[in-house]
Chains A and B, each alone.
Chain A
Amino acid sequence: MALVEIRDVHKSFGSVEVLKGITLDVEKGDIVTIIGRSGSGKSTLLRCINALETIDRGEIRIEGERIAADMPNLRQLRQRVGIVFQAFNLFPHLTVERNITLAPVLTGKVPKEKARDLALDVLARVGLADKIDAWPEQLSGGQQQRVAIARCLAMSPHLMLFDEVTSALDPELVGEVLKVMEDMARQGMTMILVTHEMGFARTVATKLVFMHQGRVWEQGNPAELFADPKTPELKNFISSVK
Protein backbone atom coordinates (compact mmCIF):
# COMPACT_ATOMS: atom_id res chain seq x y z
CA MET A 1 0.00 0.00 0.00
CA ALA A 2 1.34 3.39 -0.97
CA LEU A 3 1.60 6.04 1.71
CA VAL A 4 -0.42 8.43 -0.42
CA GLU A 5 -2.86 7.18 -3.03
CA ILE A 6 -4.45 9.78 -5.26
CA ARG A 7 -7.16 8.42 -7.54
CA ASP A 8 -8.84 10.38 -10.33
CA VAL A 9 -9.06 13.58 -8.30
CA HIS A 10 -11.12 16.40 -9.77
CA LYS A 11 -11.38 19.88 -8.34
CA SER A 12 -13.10 22.97 -9.68
CA PHE A 13 -13.22 26.54 -8.48
CA GLY A 14 -16.59 27.78 -9.72
CA SER A 15 -16.81 26.72 -13.34
CA VAL A 16 -13.06 26.34 -13.78
CA GLU A 17 -11.79 22.80 -13.45
CA VAL A 18 -8.32 23.08 -11.96
CA LEU A 19 -7.58 19.38 -11.38
CA LYS A 20 -8.84 17.12 -14.14
CA GLY A 21 -8.37 13.60 -12.89
CA ILE A 22 -5.09 13.31 -10.99
CA THR A 23 -3.84 9.82 -10.20
CA LEU A 24 -0.60 9.45 -8.31
CA ASP A 25 1.02 7.10 -5.80
CA VAL A 26 3.63 8.12 -3.28
CA GLU A 27 5.48 5.31 -1.51
CA LYS A 28 7.00 5.58 1.91
CA GLY A 29 10.40 7.26 1.59
CA ASP A 30 9.62 8.73 -1.82
CA ILE A 31 10.77 12.25 -2.65
CA VAL A 32 8.30 13.41 -5.24
CA THR A 33 8.82 16.72 -6.96
CA ILE A 34 5.98 18.30 -8.87
CA ILE A 35 6.93 20.74 -11.57
CA GLY A 36 4.84 22.64 -14.05
CA ARG A 37 3.83 26.06 -15.18
CA SER A 38 2.12 28.54 -12.92
CA GLY A 39 -1.61 27.81 -12.81
CA SER A 40 -1.27 24.13 -13.68
CA GLY A 41 -2.82 23.10 -10.35
CA LYS A 42 0.24 22.15 -8.28
CA SER A 43 -0.68 24.11 -5.15
CA THR A 44 -4.29 23.00 -5.36
CA LEU A 45 -3.18 19.38 -5.45
CA LEU A 46 -1.02 19.81 -2.34
CA ARG A 47 -3.87 21.59 -0.57
CA CYS A 48 -6.22 18.74 -1.42
CA ILE A 49 -3.82 16.24 0.12
CA ASN A 50 -4.32 17.66 3.58
CA ALA A 51 -7.91 18.68 2.98
CA LEU A 52 -7.40 22.43 2.88
CA GLU A 53 -9.51 22.08 -0.27
CA THR A 54 -12.36 19.63 -0.71
CA ILE A 55 -12.20 17.51 -3.84
CA ASP A 56 -15.20 17.15 -6.15
CA ARG A 57 -14.53 13.64 -7.39
CA GLY A 58 -12.08 10.78 -6.87
CA GLU A 59 -10.35 9.96 -3.64
CA ILE A 60 -7.17 10.56 -1.69
CA ARG A 61 -5.93 8.06 0.88
CA ILE A 62 -3.12 8.60 3.34
CA GLU A 63 -1.86 5.46 5.02
CA GLY A 64 -5.01 3.80 3.76
CA GLU A 65 -7.33 6.36 5.30
CA ARG A 66 -9.63 8.17 2.94
CA ILE A 67 -9.44 11.89 3.59
CA ALA A 68 -12.18 14.47 3.38
CA ALA A 69 -12.63 17.95 4.80
CA ASP A 70 -15.52 16.73 6.97
CA MET A 71 -13.87 13.57 8.31
CA PRO A 72 -14.12 13.24 12.09
CA ASN A 73 -10.40 12.70 12.67
CA LEU A 74 -9.14 15.33 10.23
CA ARG A 75 -7.03 16.90 12.94
CA GLN A 76 -5.27 13.63 13.73
CA LEU A 77 -4.56 13.24 10.04
CA ARG A 78 -3.15 16.74 9.78
CA GLN A 79 -0.87 16.03 12.71
CA ARG A 80 0.71 13.33 10.55
CA VAL A 81 1.05 15.53 7.47
CA GLY A 82 3.27 18.61 7.65
CA ILE A 83 2.96 21.38 5.10
CA VAL A 84 5.30 24.27 4.47
CA PHE A 85 4.20 27.22 2.38
CA GLN A 86 5.99 29.71 0.20
CA ALA A 87 5.19 32.52 2.64
CA PHE A 88 6.52 30.77 5.82
CA ASN A 89 3.40 31.69 7.81
CA LEU A 90 5.15 31.78 11.15
CA PHE A 91 3.03 33.23 13.94
CA PRO A 92 4.44 36.75 14.42
CA HIS A 93 3.35 37.10 18.04
CA LEU A 94 5.10 33.94 19.24
CA THR A 95 8.80 33.36 19.73
CA VAL A 96 10.51 30.70 17.66
CA GLU A 97 10.17 28.32 20.60
CA ARG A 98 6.43 28.92 20.97
CA ASN A 99 5.89 28.73 17.23
CA ILE A 100 7.33 25.25 17.36
CA THR A 101 5.84 24.00 20.61
CA LEU A 102 2.34 25.47 20.30
CA ALA A 103 0.81 22.57 18.38
CA PRO A 104 2.68 19.71 20.10
CA VAL A 105 1.63 21.06 23.51
CA LEU A 106 -1.97 21.85 22.57
CA THR A 107 -2.47 18.48 20.93
CA GLY A 108 -0.91 16.66 23.85
CA LYS A 109 2.03 15.34 21.86
CA VAL A 110 4.54 16.58 24.38
CA PRO A 111 4.17 17.71 28.00
CA LYS A 112 4.81 21.39 28.66
CA GLU A 113 8.02 20.84 30.59
CA LYS A 114 9.53 18.83 27.71
CA ALA A 115 8.47 21.32 25.08
CA ARG A 116 11.63 23.44 25.06
CA ASP A 117 13.78 20.34 24.59
CA LEU A 118 11.66 19.35 21.64
CA ALA A 119 12.07 22.83 20.15
CA LEU A 120 15.84 22.68 20.65
CA ASP A 121 15.94 19.24 19.05
CA VAL A 122 14.09 20.19 15.85
CA LEU A 123 15.85 23.55 15.65
CA ALA A 124 19.18 21.73 15.76
CA ARG A 125 18.04 19.72 12.77
CA VAL A 126 17.57 22.93 10.77
CA GLY A 127 20.70 24.54 12.22
CA LEU A 128 18.96 27.25 14.25
CA ALA A 129 19.18 26.14 17.87
CA ASP A 130 20.64 29.55 18.78
CA LYS A 131 17.49 31.31 17.55
CA ILE A 132 15.10 29.60 19.94
CA ASP A 133 14.21 32.83 21.76
CA ALA A 134 14.06 35.08 18.71
CA TRP A 135 10.92 36.60 17.23
CA PRO A 136 10.12 35.59 13.64
CA GLU A 137 10.42 39.22 12.59
CA GLN A 138 14.09 39.20 13.64
CA LEU A 139 15.01 36.35 11.29
CA SER A 140 15.95 36.35 7.63
CA GLY A 141 13.58 34.73 5.14
CA GLY A 142 15.72 31.63 4.94
CA GLN A 143 15.80 31.31 8.72
CA GLN A 144 12.04 31.81 8.96
CA GLN A 145 11.48 29.09 6.42
CA ARG A 146 13.75 26.71 8.33
CA VAL A 147 11.79 27.46 11.51
CA ALA A 148 8.59 26.70 9.60
CA ILE A 149 10.09 23.35 8.64
CA ALA A 150 11.15 22.73 12.24
CA ARG A 151 7.63 23.55 13.38
CA CYS A 152 6.33 20.75 11.17
CA LEU A 153 9.06 18.35 12.26
CA ALA A 154 8.04 18.86 15.90
CA MET A 155 4.79 17.05 15.12
CA SER A 156 6.83 14.05 13.82
CA PRO A 157 4.88 13.89 10.57
CA HIS A 158 4.84 10.81 8.35
CA LEU A 159 4.64 12.97 5.27
CA MET A 160 5.82 16.48 4.43
CA LEU A 161 4.39 18.73 1.74
CA PHE A 162 6.36 21.73 0.45
CA ASP A 163 4.81 24.36 -1.81
CA GLU A 164 7.52 26.41 -3.52
CA VAL A 165 9.21 26.98 -0.20
CA THR A 166 12.22 28.72 -1.71
CA SER A 167 10.40 30.93 -4.20
CA ALA A 168 10.01 33.90 -1.87
CA LEU A 169 13.64 33.85 -0.77
CA ASP A 170 16.55 35.96 -1.89
CA PRO A 171 18.77 33.77 -4.08
CA GLU A 172 21.58 33.61 -1.52
CA LEU A 173 19.19 32.14 1.07
CA VAL A 174 17.78 29.34 -1.08
CA GLY A 175 20.68 27.00 -0.46
CA GLU A 176 20.30 26.79 3.32
CA VAL A 177 16.66 25.75 2.99
CA LEU A 178 17.36 23.21 0.25
CA LYS A 179 20.09 21.71 2.38
CA VAL A 180 17.65 21.16 5.24
CA MET A 181 15.28 19.44 2.85
CA GLU A 182 18.08 17.26 1.49
CA ASP A 183 18.94 16.21 5.04
CA MET A 184 15.34 15.28 5.66
CA ALA A 185 15.28 13.29 2.43
CA ARG A 186 18.40 11.43 3.48
CA GLN A 187 16.80 10.57 6.81
CA GLY A 188 13.97 8.87 4.98
CA MET A 189 11.18 11.43 5.25
CA THR A 190 8.46 10.99 2.64
CA MET A 191 8.12 14.29 0.82
CA ILE A 192 6.02 15.81 -1.90
CA LEU A 193 7.30 19.12 -3.09
CA VAL A 194 6.34 21.67 -5.65
CA THR A 195 9.48 23.44 -6.74
CA HIS A 196 11.23 25.40 -9.41
CA GLU A 197 14.60 24.14 -8.20
CA MET A 198 15.44 21.83 -11.05
CA GLY A 199 18.72 20.85 -9.44
CA PHE A 200 16.85 19.47 -6.47
CA ALA A 201 14.29 17.75 -8.71
CA ARG A 202 17.10 16.17 -10.68
CA THR A 203 19.39 15.00 -7.91
CA VAL A 204 17.34 14.46 -4.74
CA ALA A 205 13.91 13.42 -5.99
CA THR A 206 13.04 9.77 -6.48
CA LYS A 207 10.14 10.64 -8.71
CA LEU A 208 9.30 13.55 -10.96
CA VAL A 209 5.78 14.64 -11.82
CA PHE A 210 5.11 17.14 -14.56
CA MET A 211 1.70 18.77 -14.27
CA HIS A 212 0.10 20.55 -17.18
CA GLN A 213 -3.40 22.05 -17.38
CA GLY A 214 -4.65 20.19 -14.34
CA ARG A 215 -3.33 16.79 -15.38
CA VAL A 216 -0.31 14.65 -14.60
CA TRP A 217 1.22 15.07 -18.03
CA GLU A 218 4.30 12.91 -17.44
CA GLN A 219 5.80 11.16 -14.46
CA GLY A 220 8.72 8.89 -13.77
CA ASN A 221 12.37 8.73 -12.87
CA PRO A 222 13.76 12.28 -12.75
CA ALA A 223 16.98 11.56 -14.62
CA GLU A 224 15.12 9.80 -17.42
CA LEU A 225 12.44 12.47 -17.76
CA PHE A 226 14.98 15.26 -17.86
CA ALA A 227 17.13 13.41 -20.38
CA ASP A 228 14.29 12.25 -22.54
CA PRO A 229 10.95 14.05 -22.11
CA LYS A 230 8.21 12.28 -24.02
CA THR A 231 5.91 15.23 -24.59
CA PRO A 232 6.61 18.55 -26.28
CA GLU A 233 5.06 20.32 -23.25
CA LEU A 234 7.65 18.90 -20.84
CA LYS A 235 10.41 19.45 -23.37
CA ASN A 236 9.35 23.10 -23.61
CA PHE A 237 9.07 23.46 -19.87
CA ILE A 238 12.53 22.03 -19.24
CA SER A 239 14.15 24.29 -21.77
CA SER A 240 12.29 27.32 -20.40
CA VAL A 241 13.53 26.85 -16.84
CA LYS A 242 17.11 25.99 -17.68
Chain B
Amino acid sequence: MSYMSAVDVKARKKALKKIERAFSKLVKDILSGKAPTLVIRKRTLANTVFDAERGLLRIGNATLRRSFLNAGEAKKFMQTVLIASIIHEALKNDEYPTIRDLYYRGKHTIRFRDLVTSRIREENTWDEQKESDSVIRDLEVLIDMLREEMLILSKEKGKVVGDMRIKSGDDIIDLSKMGHGAYSIEPTPDFIEFKDVNAEFVLVIEKDAVFQQLHRAGFWKKYKALLITSAGQPDRATRRFVRRLSDELGLPIYILTDADPYGWYIYSVFKVGSITLSYESERLATPSARFLGVSMIDIFGSDKLKKKPYLTEAERKNYIIKATDTDIKRAKELKSYEWFRTKRWLEEINIFLKKKAKLEIEALTSKGLRFLMDTYIPEKIETGDWIA
Protein backbone atom coordinates (compact mmCIF):
# COMPACT_ATOMS: atom_id res chain seq x y z
CA MET B 1 0.00 0.00 0.00
CA SER B 2 1.08 3.53 -0.65
CA TYR B 3 1.44 6.22 1.96
CA MET B 4 1.67 8.83 -0.79
CA SER B 5 -1.06 11.37 -1.24
CA ALA B 6 -3.10 11.10 -4.39
CA VAL B 7 -2.18 14.57 -5.66
CA ASP B 8 1.52 13.73 -5.51
CA VAL B 9 1.04 10.54 -7.51
CA LYS B 10 -0.76 12.46 -10.22
CA ALA B 11 1.86 15.20 -10.25
CA ARG B 12 4.66 12.69 -10.64
CA LYS B 13 3.09 11.09 -13.67
CA LYS B 14 2.62 14.41 -15.38
CA ALA B 15 6.17 15.58 -14.67
CA LEU B 16 7.70 12.30 -15.84
CA LYS B 17 5.81 12.47 -19.08
CA LYS B 18 6.87 16.04 -19.78
CA ILE B 19 10.53 15.35 -19.16
CA GLU B 20 10.45 12.20 -21.28
CA ARG B 21 8.76 13.98 -24.14
CA ALA B 22 11.34 16.79 -24.22
CA PHE B 23 14.32 14.47 -24.14
CA SER B 24 12.96 11.77 -26.47
CA LYS B 25 13.03 14.36 -29.17
CA LEU B 26 16.70 14.98 -28.41
CA VAL B 27 17.54 11.28 -28.56
CA LYS B 28 15.72 10.94 -31.85
CA ASP B 29 17.81 13.79 -33.26
CA ILE B 30 21.01 12.16 -32.09
CA LEU B 31 20.17 8.77 -33.52
CA SER B 32 19.34 10.31 -36.87
CA GLY B 33 22.61 12.21 -36.93
CA LYS B 34 21.19 15.63 -36.13
CA ALA B 35 23.20 17.81 -33.75
CA PRO B 36 21.37 17.79 -30.40
CA THR B 37 20.18 21.25 -29.51
CA LEU B 38 18.07 22.51 -26.63
CA VAL B 39 15.95 25.53 -27.42
CA ILE B 40 15.12 27.42 -24.26
CA ARG B 41 13.51 30.78 -23.77
CA LYS B 42 15.95 33.32 -22.40
CA ARG B 43 15.70 34.34 -18.78
CA THR B 44 17.13 37.83 -19.13
CA LEU B 45 15.93 41.35 -18.40
CA ALA B 46 15.91 42.03 -22.14
CA ASN B 47 13.58 39.08 -22.64
CA THR B 48 11.25 40.14 -19.84
CA VAL B 49 8.07 41.74 -21.01
CA PHE B 50 5.66 43.67 -18.84
CA ASP B 51 2.18 42.64 -19.91
CA ALA B 52 0.36 45.84 -19.01
CA GLU B 53 -3.04 44.39 -19.74
CA ARG B 54 -2.64 41.51 -17.32
CA GLY B 55 -0.36 43.48 -15.02
CA LEU B 56 2.43 40.95 -14.79
CA LEU B 57 5.86 40.17 -16.10
CA ARG B 58 6.19 37.54 -18.74
CA ILE B 59 9.06 35.84 -20.42
CA GLY B 60 9.54 37.01 -24.01
CA ASN B 61 9.94 34.89 -27.09
CA ALA B 62 13.67 35.23 -27.47
CA THR B 63 15.25 31.80 -27.21
CA LEU B 64 18.74 30.55 -26.73
CA ARG B 65 19.95 27.52 -28.58
CA ARG B 66 22.18 25.30 -26.55
CA SER B 67 23.95 22.94 -28.89
CA PHE B 68 25.99 20.11 -27.47
CA LEU B 69 28.44 20.23 -30.34
CA ASN B 70 29.34 23.82 -29.57
CA ALA B 71 32.27 23.91 -27.17
CA GLY B 72 30.95 27.00 -25.39
CA GLU B 73 27.56 25.42 -24.72
CA ALA B 74 28.46 21.78 -24.17
CA LYS B 75 28.82 22.04 -20.41
CA LYS B 76 25.46 23.73 -19.86
CA PHE B 77 23.91 21.18 -22.18
CA MET B 78 25.40 18.35 -20.16
CA GLN B 79 24.23 19.97 -16.92
CA THR B 80 20.70 20.32 -18.26
CA VAL B 81 20.57 16.66 -19.26
CA LEU B 82 22.14 15.67 -15.97
CA ILE B 83 19.64 17.59 -13.82
CA ALA B 84 16.75 16.28 -15.93
CA SER B 85 17.88 12.70 -15.45
CA ILE B 86 18.28 13.15 -11.71
CA ILE B 87 14.85 14.75 -11.35
CA HIS B 88 13.40 12.04 -13.58
CA GLU B 89 14.91 9.37 -11.39
CA ALA B 90 13.68 11.03 -8.19
CA LEU B 91 10.18 11.23 -9.62
CA LYS B 92 10.28 7.56 -10.51
CA ASN B 93 11.54 6.62 -7.05
CA ASP B 94 8.84 8.62 -5.28
CA GLU B 95 11.35 10.95 -3.74
CA TYR B 96 11.09 14.61 -2.75
CA PRO B 97 14.51 16.06 -3.33
CA THR B 98 15.37 19.61 -2.39
CA ILE B 99 17.36 21.75 -4.77
CA ARG B 100 20.31 21.17 -2.46
CA ASP B 101 19.84 17.38 -2.81
CA LEU B 102 19.81 17.72 -6.57
CA TYR B 103 23.02 19.67 -6.39
CA TYR B 104 24.73 16.88 -4.44
CA ARG B 105 23.30 14.06 -6.54
CA GLY B 106 24.55 15.60 -9.75
CA LYS B 107 27.93 16.67 -8.52
CA HIS B 108 30.73 14.38 -9.65
CA THR B 109 34.21 14.63 -11.03
CA ILE B 110 35.12 14.03 -14.65
CA ARG B 111 38.77 13.07 -15.11
CA PHE B 112 39.81 13.68 -18.66
CA ARG B 113 42.88 13.89 -20.83
CA ASP B 114 43.78 17.26 -22.25
CA LEU B 115 44.67 16.27 -25.81
CA VAL B 116 47.02 19.24 -26.24
CA THR B 117 49.27 18.58 -23.27
CA SER B 118 48.25 14.94 -22.66
CA ARG B 119 47.87 15.85 -19.00
CA ILE B 120 45.02 14.41 -16.98
CA ARG B 121 42.72 17.07 -15.64
CA GLU B 122 39.70 17.12 -13.40
CA GLU B 123 36.48 18.98 -13.63
CA ASN B 124 33.29 18.86 -11.61
CA THR B 125 29.92 18.65 -13.28
CA TRP B 126 29.24 21.70 -11.20
CA ASP B 127 30.96 23.41 -8.33
CA GLU B 128 28.36 25.62 -6.73
CA GLN B 129 24.68 25.17 -6.15
CA LYS B 130 24.16 28.34 -8.17
CA GLU B 131 24.98 26.28 -11.25
CA SER B 132 22.56 23.43 -10.60
CA ASP B 133 19.86 25.93 -9.56
CA SER B 134 20.34 27.70 -12.85
CA VAL B 135 19.81 24.56 -14.95
CA ILE B 136 16.79 23.63 -12.84
CA ARG B 137 15.30 26.96 -13.92
CA ASP B 138 16.26 26.16 -17.53
CA LEU B 139 14.49 22.86 -17.25
CA GLU B 140 11.39 24.59 -15.86
CA VAL B 141 11.31 26.84 -18.91
CA LEU B 142 12.12 23.98 -21.27
CA ILE B 143 9.28 21.71 -20.16
CA ASP B 144 7.05 24.55 -19.00
CA MET B 145 6.65 23.26 -15.45
CA LEU B 146 7.56 24.74 -12.11
CA ARG B 147 9.92 22.76 -9.98
CA GLU B 148 7.24 22.39 -7.29
CA GLU B 149 5.18 20.54 -9.87
CA MET B 150 8.12 18.17 -10.21
CA LEU B 151 7.98 17.56 -6.45
CA ILE B 152 11.17 19.42 -5.75
CA LEU B 153 11.15 20.98 -2.35
CA SER B 154 12.82 24.02 -0.94
CA LYS B 155 13.03 25.59 2.49
CA GLU B 156 9.72 26.85 3.80
CA LYS B 157 9.74 30.49 4.66
CA GLY B 158 6.23 31.87 4.34
CA LYS B 159 3.66 31.55 7.14
CA VAL B 160 -0.06 31.99 7.35
CA VAL B 161 -2.74 32.20 10.06
CA GLY B 162 -6.41 33.01 9.87
CA ASP B 163 -9.86 31.62 10.03
CA MET B 164 -9.46 29.04 7.30
CA ARG B 165 -9.26 25.27 6.77
CA ILE B 166 -7.11 23.63 4.16
CA LYS B 167 -6.27 20.11 3.06
CA SER B 168 -2.56 19.43 2.75
CA GLY B 169 -1.64 15.93 1.68
CA ASP B 170 -4.35 13.86 3.22
CA ASP B 171 -4.83 16.06 6.32
CA ILE B 172 -7.19 18.88 7.10
CA ILE B 173 -5.48 21.76 8.82
CA ASP B 174 -7.28 24.52 10.66
CA LEU B 175 -5.26 27.70 10.25
CA SER B 176 -7.11 29.31 13.13
CA LYS B 177 -5.78 26.71 15.54
CA MET B 178 -2.11 27.28 15.27
CA GLY B 179 -1.62 28.69 18.78
CA HIS B 180 1.19 31.23 18.87
CA GLY B 181 2.69 29.57 15.84
CA ALA B 182 1.60 29.60 12.24
CA TYR B 183 1.23 27.23 9.31
CA SER B 184 4.36 27.04 7.18
CA ILE B 185 3.28 27.34 3.61
CA GLU B 186 4.40 24.08 2.01
CA PRO B 187 6.72 24.15 -1.02
CA THR B 188 4.02 22.69 -3.24
CA PRO B 189 1.06 24.99 -2.55
CA ASP B 190 -0.68 23.80 -5.68
CA PHE B 191 -1.49 20.58 -3.91
CA ILE B 192 -3.28 22.41 -1.08
CA GLU B 193 -7.00 22.25 -1.21
CA PHE B 194 -8.96 25.23 0.18
CA LYS B 195 -11.79 23.90 2.33
CA ASP B 196 -13.61 26.83 3.91
CA VAL B 197 -12.63 30.35 4.78
CA ASN B 198 -13.96 33.11 6.92
CA ALA B 199 -11.97 36.19 5.95
CA GLU B 200 -12.50 39.43 4.09
CA PHE B 201 -8.98 40.30 3.06
CA VAL B 202 -5.41 39.11 3.13
CA LEU B 203 -2.63 41.11 4.77
CA VAL B 204 0.89 40.18 3.67
CA ILE B 205 3.64 41.53 5.89
CA GLU B 206 7.29 41.69 4.91
CA LYS B 207 8.52 41.45 8.49
CA ASP B 208 8.08 38.23 10.45
CA ALA B 209 8.34 40.11 13.79
CA VAL B 210 5.47 42.43 12.93
CA PHE B 211 3.46 39.41 11.73
CA GLN B 212 3.92 37.76 15.14
CA GLN B 213 2.91 40.88 17.02
CA LEU B 214 -0.26 41.30 15.01
CA HIS B 215 -1.03 37.56 15.32
CA ARG B 216 -0.69 37.58 19.10
CA ALA B 217 -2.67 40.78 19.40
CA GLY B 218 -5.49 38.99 17.58
CA PHE B 219 -5.51 41.17 14.51
CA TRP B 220 -6.84 38.51 12.14
CA LYS B 221 -9.71 37.61 14.42
CA LYS B 222 -10.72 41.20 15.01
CA TYR B 223 -10.56 42.27 11.37
CA LYS B 224 -11.43 38.97 9.62
CA ALA B 225 -8.13 38.72 7.88
CA LEU B 226 -5.75 36.07 6.69
CA LEU B 227 -2.34 37.11 7.97
CA ILE B 228 0.71 36.14 5.95
CA THR B 229 4.39 36.92 6.20
CA SER B 230 7.00 36.34 3.52
CA ALA B 231 9.82 36.95 6.00
CA GLY B 232 11.75 39.12 3.54
CA GLN B 233 11.92 38.30 -0.17
CA PRO B 234 8.97 36.00 -0.79
CA ASP B 235 9.69 32.46 -1.88
CA ARG B 236 7.76 30.86 -4.68
CA ALA B 237 5.43 28.93 -2.43
CA THR B 238 4.27 32.05 -0.59
CA ARG B 239 3.71 33.87 -3.85
CA ARG B 240 1.76 30.98 -5.34
CA PHE B 241 -0.32 30.68 -2.17
CA VAL B 242 -1.19 34.38 -2.21
CA ARG B 243 -2.06 34.16 -5.89
CA ARG B 244 -4.43 31.28 -5.27
CA LEU B 245 -6.10 33.15 -2.43
CA SER B 246 -6.71 36.02 -4.82
CA ASP B 247 -7.75 33.90 -7.81
CA GLU B 248 -9.81 31.21 -6.15
CA LEU B 249 -11.27 33.00 -3.15
CA GLY B 250 -11.42 36.50 -4.64
CA LEU B 251 -9.90 38.03 -1.52
CA PRO B 252 -8.26 41.45 -1.79
CA ILE B 253 -4.52 41.29 -1.07
CA TYR B 254 -2.82 44.10 0.87
CA ILE B 255 0.91 44.24 1.20
CA LEU B 256 2.74 45.97 4.00
CA THR B 257 6.49 46.54 3.66
CA ASP B 258 9.19 48.87 4.86
CA ALA B 259 9.19 52.26 3.23
CA ASP B 260 12.27 51.77 1.08
CA PRO B 261 13.19 50.47 -2.40
CA TYR B 262 13.78 46.99 -0.99
CA GLY B 263 10.22 46.88 0.37
CA TRP B 264 8.83 48.24 -2.88
CA TYR B 265 10.54 45.50 -4.81
CA ILE B 266 9.04 42.84 -2.49
CA TYR B 267 5.66 44.27 -3.27
CA SER B 268 6.50 44.28 -6.97
CA VAL B 269 7.55 40.63 -6.88
CA PHE B 270 4.20 39.68 -5.33
CA LYS B 271 2.31 41.79 -7.80
CA VAL B 272 4.00 41.39 -11.20
CA GLY B 273 6.67 38.77 -10.66
CA SER B 274 10.46 38.87 -10.58
CA ILE B 275 12.67 39.73 -13.49
CA THR B 276 14.96 36.70 -13.43
CA LEU B 277 12.06 34.30 -12.99
CA SER B 278 9.58 36.04 -15.26
CA TYR B 279 8.45 32.69 -16.69
CA GLU B 280 6.91 31.89 -13.31
CA SER B 281 4.78 35.03 -13.06
CA GLU B 282 1.97 33.47 -15.01
CA ARG B 283 1.45 31.25 -11.99
CA LEU B 284 3.01 33.25 -9.18
CA ALA B 285 2.17 36.92 -9.68
CA THR B 286 -0.89 38.52 -8.16
CA PRO B 287 -1.63 41.54 -10.34
CA SER B 288 -4.48 42.69 -8.11
CA ALA B 289 -2.22 43.05 -5.03
CA ARG B 290 -2.28 46.45 -3.36
CA PHE B 291 0.51 48.31 -1.72
CA LEU B 292 -0.91 49.31 1.63
CA GLY B 293 2.19 50.97 2.99
CA VAL B 294 4.29 52.20 4.51
CA SER B 295 4.23 54.97 1.91
CA MET B 296 6.27 58.14 1.78
CA ILE B 297 3.07 60.14 2.04
CA ASP B 298 2.19 58.26 5.24
CA ILE B 299 5.42 59.66 6.63
CA PHE B 300 5.55 63.13 5.15
CA GLY B 301 1.95 63.83 4.16
CA SER B 302 0.99 65.56 0.91
CA ASP B 303 -0.44 69.03 0.36
CA LYS B 304 -1.42 68.13 -3.15
CA LEU B 305 -3.36 65.04 -2.07
CA LYS B 306 -4.52 66.89 1.05
CA LYS B 307 -3.18 64.17 3.24
CA LYS B 308 -1.82 64.57 6.71
CA PRO B 309 1.17 62.48 7.74
CA TYR B 310 0.73 59.64 10.26
CA LEU B 311 3.87 60.75 12.03
CA THR B 312 4.50 63.94 13.95
CA GLU B 313 7.54 66.05 13.33
CA ALA B 314 9.16 64.61 16.48
CA GLU B 315 8.38 60.98 15.52
CA ARG B 316 9.80 61.51 12.07
CA LYS B 317 12.96 62.77 13.64
CA ASN B 318 13.25 59.61 15.75
CA TYR B 319 12.17 56.93 13.28
CA ILE B 320 13.48 58.03 9.92
CA ILE B 321 16.68 56.40 8.68
CA LYS B 322 18.97 58.07 6.17
CA ALA B 323 18.92 56.36 2.78
CA THR B 324 22.18 54.80 1.65
CA ASP B 325 23.78 55.21 -1.77
CA THR B 326 22.62 51.73 -2.77
CA ASP B 327 19.08 52.64 -1.75
CA ILE B 328 19.24 55.69 -4.00
CA LYS B 329 20.66 53.68 -6.86
CA ARG B 330 18.03 50.99 -6.47
CA ALA B 331 15.25 53.60 -6.38
CA LYS B 332 16.47 55.08 -9.64
CA GLU B 333 16.48 51.61 -11.18
CA LEU B 334 12.91 50.95 -10.05
CA LYS B 335 11.93 54.27 -11.57
CA SER B 336 12.97 52.91 -14.96
CA TYR B 337 10.79 49.80 -14.73
CA GLU B 338 7.63 50.16 -16.72
CA TRP B 339 5.35 48.90 -13.94
CA PHE B 340 6.66 51.54 -11.53
CA ARG B 341 6.07 54.34 -13.98
CA THR B 342 2.61 55.20 -12.70
CA LYS B 343 1.77 58.66 -11.38
CA ARG B 344 1.42 57.51 -7.81
CA TRP B 345 4.60 55.44 -7.77
CA LEU B 346 6.69 58.16 -9.36
CA GLU B 347 5.43 60.46 -6.62
CA GLU B 348 6.55 57.93 -3.98
CA ILE B 349 9.94 57.45 -5.49
CA ASN B 350 10.50 61.15 -6.03
CA ILE B 351 9.69 61.98 -2.42
CA PHE B 352 12.16 59.31 -1.39
CA LEU B 353 14.84 60.67 -3.69
CA LYS B 354 14.20 64.19 -2.41
CA LYS B 355 14.10 63.37 1.30
CA LYS B 356 16.65 60.56 1.09
CA ALA B 357 14.79 58.98 4.00
CA LYS B 358 13.43 55.49 4.68
CA LEU B 359 11.41 53.91 7.44
CA GLU B 360 10.84 50.41 8.81
CA ILE B 361 7.37 49.03 9.68
CA GLU B 362 8.65 48.50 13.19
CA ALA B 363 8.65 52.27 13.60
CA LEU B 364 4.87 52.13 13.51
CA THR B 365 4.73 49.50 16.25
CA SER B 366 7.04 51.67 18.27
CA LYS B 367 4.53 54.42 17.98
CA GLY B 368 2.21 51.77 19.40
CA LEU B 369 1.06 48.33 18.34
CA ARG B 370 -2.45 49.59 18.86
CA PHE B 371 -1.80 52.44 16.50
CA LEU B 372 -0.68 50.03 13.80
CA MET B 373 -3.46 47.51 14.42
CA ASP B 374 -6.40 49.72 15.11
CA THR B 375 -5.60 52.96 13.37
CA TYR B 376 -3.11 52.72 10.59
CA ILE B 377 -4.13 49.46 8.89
CA PRO B 378 -7.92 49.60 9.17
CA GLU B 379 -8.05 53.30 8.32
CA LYS B 380 -5.97 52.88 5.21
CA ILE B 381 -8.01 49.90 4.02
CA GLU B 382 -11.28 51.62 4.76
CA THR B 383 -10.39 54.85 2.97
CA GLY B 384 -8.80 53.05 0.06
CA ASP B 385 -5.48 54.65 0.85
CA TRP B 386 -3.31 52.22 -1.04
CA ILE B 387 -1.42 52.09 -4.32
CA ALA B 388 -2.88 49.67 -6.80
- Real binding pair: no
